[in-house]
Structure 1
Amino acid sequence: MTARFADLGLEEYRAASGVELGRRVARGELSPVQLTECALHLARAAEPVINAYAALLPERALRQAAELEAEAAAGRVRGPLHGVPMAVKDNMLYEGEPTGKGSRTSPGTPATASSPMVERLLAAGTVVIGKTTTPEFGWKGTGISPRTGVTRNPWNPARNSGGSSAGAGATVASGAVPIATGTDAGGSVRIPAAFCGVVGLKPTLGAIPVWPGTVNENLSHAGPLTRHVDDARAVLDITRGPDPRDPQSYHARPPAGSPSRRMRVGVVRAPFGVPPGAEVAPAVDAALELLAATLTASDAAEFQDVDLPARPPREIFEALWVTGRGLGFRDLIRERAEVMDPGLVRLATLAEGYDLAAYYAALTRRREFNAELHRCLDEWDLLVMPTMPIAAFAADAEVPEGGEIGAPLPWITWTPYTYPFNITGQPAITLPVGLGAGRMPAGVQIVGPWAHDDALLAFARLCERALAPLNETTVVPAGW
Structure 2
Amino acid sequence: MSSELHDLPARELASHYRDGKLSPVEVTRAVLAHIERWEPHLQATWLLRPEAALEQARQSEARWKRGEAIGPLDGIPTTIKENIATRGDPLPAGTAAVTLKPAAADAPPAARLKEAGVVLVSKTTMPDYGMLSSGLSSFHTLARNPWDLSKTPGGSSAGAGAAAAAGYGPLHIGTDIGGSLRLPAGWCGIFTLKPSLGRVPIDPPYMGRAAGPMTRTVGDAALMMQVLAQPDARDSMSLPAQDIDWDACDVSPDHLRGLRIGLLLEAGCGLPVEPEIREAIEHAARLFEKAGAIVEPMQPFMTQTLLDGMDHLWRMRSMVDLQALPSAQRDKVLPYIRAWAESAAGFSGEHVFRAFSQFHATRVVTVDACADYDYVISPTAPNSPAPAEWAGPTNDPMRPLEHIGFTVPYNMSEQPASSINCGYTSAGMPIGLQIAGRRFDDLGVLQVSRAFEQIREPQRHWPHPPGAR
Is this a same-fold pair by TM over 0.5? Answer: yes
Match of 1:225 among 202, 214, 217: 214
| Match of residue 205 from structure 1 | 197
Distance 2:17 2:448 in 1: 28
Q: What is the aligned partner in structure 2 of residue 3 from structure 1?
A: none
Closer, same or farther: CA 326–22 of 1 in aligned 2, 3 Å:
farther
Tell me how far 1:110 sits from its aligned partner: 2.7
Matches within 5 A, 1:72-471: 72-213=64-205, 217-250=206-239, 262-272=258-268, 275-293=272-290, 295-296=291-292, 301-309=293-301, 311-312=303-304, 313-332=306-325, 334-400=327-393, 403=394, 405-407=396-398, 410-467=399-456, 469-471=457-459
Deviations 1:90-113 (A, max 9, x none): 111112323222121334433231
Q: 2 CA distance for matches of 1:356 and 1:406?
A: 22
Partner SS for 2:451: helix
What one-letter code is carried by the residue in structure 2 that aligns with 1:349?
E
SS in 2 for 1:280: helix
Letter in 1 for 2:463: V
Separation in 1 of the partners of 2:71 and 2:258?
31
Q: Report the CA distance between 1:265 and its aligned residue.
A: 1.0
Kept after mapping to 1: 8 A contact 2:336/2:397: no
Distance 2:29 2:136 in 1: 28
How far is 1:335 from its partner? Answer: 4.6
Distance 2:344 2:241 in 1: 30
Q: Which amino acid aligns with 2:7?
A: A
Letter paired with 1:250: L
How far did 1:287 drift?
2.5
Q: Write the letter of the residue equivalent to 2:460.
A: E
Question: Larger deviation: 428-437 or 367-376?
Answer: 367-376
2:463 corresponds to: 476
Question: Counterparts of 1:136 and 1:233 in 2: how far apart (Å)?
Answer: 30
Would the alpha carbon gap of residues 380 and 122 (structure 1) be closer, same or farther in structure 2, given more than 3 Å must change?
same
* Aligned partners of 1:421 and 1:428 also within 8 Å: yes
8 A contact 2:363–2:409 mirrored in 1: no
- Of 5, 12, 17, which residue of structure 1 is paired with 2:4? 12
Q: Deviations over 1:375-418 (max 9, x none)?
A: 22221011011111111121101244xx36141xx431133212
Task: Indicate the residue corresponding to 2:252 in structure 1.
Answer: none
Kindly tell me: are residues 452 and 350 of structure 1, through their superposed partners in 2, closer, same or farther at Cα, counting changes over 3 Å? same
**Equivalent residue for 1:26?**
18
**Distance across 2 between alignment mates of 1:470 and 1:306:** 28
RMSD, aligned CA? 2.4
- Which residue of structure 1 aligns with residue 49 of structure 2? 57
In structure 2, runs of 5+ residues without a counterpart are 250-254
1-side partners of 2:20 and 2:348: how far apart?
Answer: 62
Once the two structures are superposed, residues 258-292 of structure 1 have per-residue CA deviations (whole angstroms, 9 ceiling, x without a partner) of 99984211111223266520343333332232232
Aligned mates of 1:466, 1:206 — CA distance in 2? 31
Give the SS at the match of 2:90: coil
Q: Measured at CA, do residues 404 and 252 of structure 1 come closer, stay the same or move farther in structure 2, by a change above 3 Å? A: farther
* Rounded Cα–Cα distance in structure 2 between residues aligned with 1:446 and 1:363: 27
- Identity over aligned pairs, percent: 30
Kept in 2: contact 1:168–1:182 (CA 8 A): yes
Change (3 A) 1:188 1:412: same
Task: Give the whole-Å Cα distance in 2 for the aligned partners of 1:172 and 1:212.
Answer: 25
Letter in 1 for 2:213: P
Relative distance call for 1:316 and 1:450 in structure 2 (3 A) is farther
Q: Which residue number in structure 2 is paired with residue 4 of structure 1?
A: none
The answer as to whether partners of 1:166 and 1:192 remain within 8 angstroms in 2 is yes
Determine if contact 1:103/1:147 at 8 Å carries over to the other structure.
yes
Q: Which deviations, in whole Å up to 9, do the C-alpha atoms of 1:36-72 show, x marking residues without a partner?
A: 1111111111011111112211111000010011001
What per-residue deviation string (whole Å, max 9, x for no partner) do you get for residues 419-462 of structure 1? Answer: 22222221110001232122111110001111111111111111
Residue-by-residue CA offset, 1:205-224 (whole Å, 9 max, x unaligned): 111111134xxx10211111
Alignment size in residue pairs: 458
Structure 1 unaligned blocks of 5 or more: 1-7
Counterpart of 2:262 in 1: which secondary structure?
A: strand
**Corresponding letter in the other structure for 2:68:** R
1:414 counterpart SS class: coil
Q: Is the CA contact (8 Å cut-off) linking 2:53 and 2:119 kept in structure 1?
A: yes
1:338-362 deviations in Å (ceiling 9; x for gaps): 2111222234423333344333323
> 2:28–2:77: 8 Å Cα contact kept in structure 1?
yes
Q: Helix, strand or coil: the match of 1:159?
A: coil
Question: Quick one: structure 1 residues 191 and 24, their matched pair in 2 at CA, closer, same or farther if it must change by over 3 Å?
Answer: same
Q: Is the 8 A contact 2:45 2:125 kept in 1?
A: yes
Question: Secondary structure of the equivalent of 1:241?
Answer: coil
Contact 1:38-1:176 within 8 A present in 2 as well: no
SS of 2:17's partner is: helix
